[in-house]
Amino acid sequence: MVQATATPLVGKISEATPLAGVDLTKNTKEFIGDNLIGDGSTHIVNSGATYWFTGLSGAGKSTLSVALKEKIDKLVADNKKVFILDGDVIRQGLNKDLGFTPEARAENIRRISEVAKLFALAGQICFVAFISPYSKDRDFARKIHAEAGLKFYECHISASLEVCEQRDTKGLYKKAREGIIKNFTGISDPYEAPPSPELNIDTGSLSLDACQTLVINHMSAQNVLNDKNQARIAPSLVQECNEAELAHFATLKTLDIDIHQAQYL
């Protein structure tokens, strides 16, 4: 009779593998992968959401988006939870075939709206940093998010035309004033400011830190970003009675019992 013996399987890690030299007996939180940053998270992304930053060129939409992403990346210890859709970048790729006529601008925003919705569906926070000058196009973005049951927040980055023109880091306003650039929002093309945005952020008067705080506080209030160390109250499962139910309950017989009787029931 041949007796089989169990031999434990022992894996070997060569110097060529990424795990070479890593002590696998340590807490796994100490292993930092490509998308993990820092020693541990203090917050969690609780739900996907689109924050739509609209405003004039030079208002600070992209600057605020990048600063927020860096901040949230550190809070959640993960650089894959936040994505930025930036006008300059998108027009070099996905929308490079589009111009700046009203029709082209509408198609530009339609495509971006659909992409932002997909990120929100995947449970990510998406910052959309686009001038998006027309209300009807931004309303379309809100509509498709609402239809999918997704969170959408319109944020007016409301630095004034004077402030934006003073900044003019790319010299675009100067060229627009000289007629070199046509259909330039705020100069030769209109900008329709949101009448009732979820957030109105005046980057002309507020510091970058203050602007970030406004957005982060909103995320916490809307249950998008949660502090892991802060107690949360779950929604109650008890529903309020309607008038018909209250009337019915009033007809039922009641029995008065004290605390001791309740304990042995």
Q: Which residues are catalytic?
A: 132
Question: Which residues have C-beta within 8 Å of that of residue 239, sequence separation ≥ 6?
Answer: none
Q: How far apart are CA 26 and CA 161, in angstroms?
A: 55
Query: Sign (positive/negative) of CA torsion 23, 27, 28, 34?
Result: negative
CA within 13 Å, CB half, 250: 7
Sign, CA torsion 90/92/93/96? positive
Q: What is the DSSP letter of 58?
A: T
Exposure string over 44-60, b if 16+ CB within 10 A, otherwise e: ebebbbbbbbbbbbbbb
Q: What number of CA atoms fall less than 13 Å from residue 26's CA on the CB side? A: 8
